[in-house]
Amino acid sequence: MAVVRLDGLTKRYDRNHPPAAVGIDLEIADGEFMVLLGPSGCGKTTTLRMVAGLEAITEGTVSIDGRVVNDIPAKNRDIAMVFQSYALYPHMSVRDNLAFGLRRRKMPRVEIDRRVSDAAEILGLTVLLDRKPHALSGGQRQRVAVGRAIVRDPKVFLFDEPLSNLDAALRVSTRAEISALHRRLQATMIYVTHDQVEAMTLGTRICIMNGGRIAQVGRPMEVYRTPADTFVAGFLGNPPMNLLPGTATDAPGGCRLRVGGMRFDIPEHRTIPSAPGLAMTLGLRPERVTVRPTGSSTEVAITGEVVQVEALGAETLVSLRLPDVEPLMIARLPGDSEVAIGTRTEFFADMALAHVFDADGRSMTAQREREET
Ligand SMILES: Nc1ncnc2c1ncn2[C@@H]1O[C@H](COP(=O)(O)OP(=O)(O)OP(=O)(O)O)[C@@H](O)[C@H]1O
Ligand SMILES: [Mg+2]
């Protein structure tokens, strides 16, 4: 059992700068794979290091299984951390690298041998046990670093961007290995990344951070489908959600948005409180914009000038300039779509799938969907 709980966790490195992490409230369930996701500098590593006991806590508490561990030194927290830069001992074999920490703890030899061979088995390192790190590939070295955490049999695993030094192909395969490892060990894991694909594929839940604060916590598809604000909407998804600035106009019993020269009626079941003239943002996922009508009764036509076409094979990304709208709108179309640059083309979007954000960037529609479910 290992439930990790953060209450009001705050870190201020120095007085003259805003805190690196502020009021983080988060409970990670036993066996959960929690991903901390966010852009560079948003406080992910700082938060993880406070959990590990490597960074002093300014305010708030970290608890493990109901016990506050703020004053317990890192080595006694029963937590293992895998870092981005995994320094293996170059002069030691894989076996000795794995065993090193346990020997220092004066663990009996038989127990060390058992743990090392179990971890090697899990990670496919058995045939490499007598090699030195220089004779391993980048992915194999990273597996040894993970193995050093596994042999400790900790209550909680912490990972800080463990894949960021690997090339693209290796990152994909190692990601799958970490996912399999979690299924096998069923351990509580907290994993830091700025890569949304890693977050979506690995996480039981994702905690998205922005400027030291939590922007949203939820299951991967939940945060993708119902982003709480424009930050999350613009961070998850590739390309991210189109965010088009607009204003509310009067519409009895519903919501109508004016975006540039266009008007969009947001269907009744997604009505949101609005006052005429209020600034709002219309959010449309690029994958929800089509070139052929789907026939939905809430669908609208959007005509724009095609300014860029990127044929990526499986899909084609089209950038559109809409009348009097500042950012270009991106449509993600099937790879066989034929759209010509420079033409005025009609596209379609279903307003029942559109998102609406208020002047502060908070989603009005996400709130609505949560109330309904
Ligand atoms: N030891 C430190 N002293 C002062 N400020 C620090 C220290 N460590 C981090 N910071 C600041 O705290 C903020 C959060 O840093 P942190 O390393 O937690 O970000 P991160 O989300 O892990 O970013 P990245 O994705 O780049 O690793 C940043 O503004 C950073 O400059
Ligand atoms: Mg970091």
State pLDDT tens for residues 181-193.
899 889 999 999 9
Q: Judge whether residue 36 has pLDDT over 80.
A: yes
Residues 39 and 225: beta-carbon distance below 8 Å: no
> Residue written as tokens 């789907």?
294
Q: Does 163 have pLDDT greater than 70?
A: yes
Second CATH level (architecture) for the domain 4-231:
3-Layer(aba) Sandwich (3.40)
Helix pair 109-123, 94-104: axis angle to 10 deg: 140
Residue nearest to atom 7 of ligand 1 (CA): 13
In the prediction, which pLDDT does 276 show? 76
Res. 271 pLDDT band, cuts 50 70 90: low
* Ligand 1: centre distance to CA 13 (Å): 9
Tell me the best of 45, 51, 160, 213 to mutate to test the pocket of ligand 1, counting ligand atoms within 8 Å of each CB and taking the most. Answer: 45
pLDDT value at 27 more than 60: yes
Residues of the chain with CATH 3.40.50.300: 4-231
Q: Give the C-alpha separation, 239 to 228, whole Å.
A: 18
Residue 211 — pLDDT band, cuts 50, 70, 90? very high
Average pLDDT, the chain: 92
Report CA(114)–ligand 2 centroid distance (Å): 34
Ranges for all domains in the chain classified under CATH 2.40.50.140 = 232-372
Average pLDDT value for residue range 146-154 = 92
Atom 26 of ligand 1, nearest CA residue: 40
Question: Which of the 8 DSSP states describes residue 127?
Answer: G
Residue 74 reports pLDDT greater than 90: yes
**Mean pLDDT, residues 111-132 taken together:** 94
Burial of 360 (C-beta count, 10 Å sphere; 0-12/13-18/19+): exposed
Element (H, E) at 305: strand 299-311
Q: Is the CB of 241 under 6 A from ligand 1?
A: no
Q: pLDDT grade, residue 254 (50/70/90)?
A: low
- List Cβ neighbours of 325 (8 Å cut-off, separation of 6 or more): 244, 245, 259, 260, 262
Q: Is the CB of 10 under 6 A from ligand 1?
A: no
Out of 3.30.160.270, 2.60.34.10, 2.40.50.140, 3.40.50.2000, which CATH number does the structure's domain 232-372 have? 2.40.50.140
Is the CB of 43 inside a 6 Å radius of any atom of ligand 1?
yes
- The answer to whether the bond into 154 is cis (omega within 30° of 0) is no
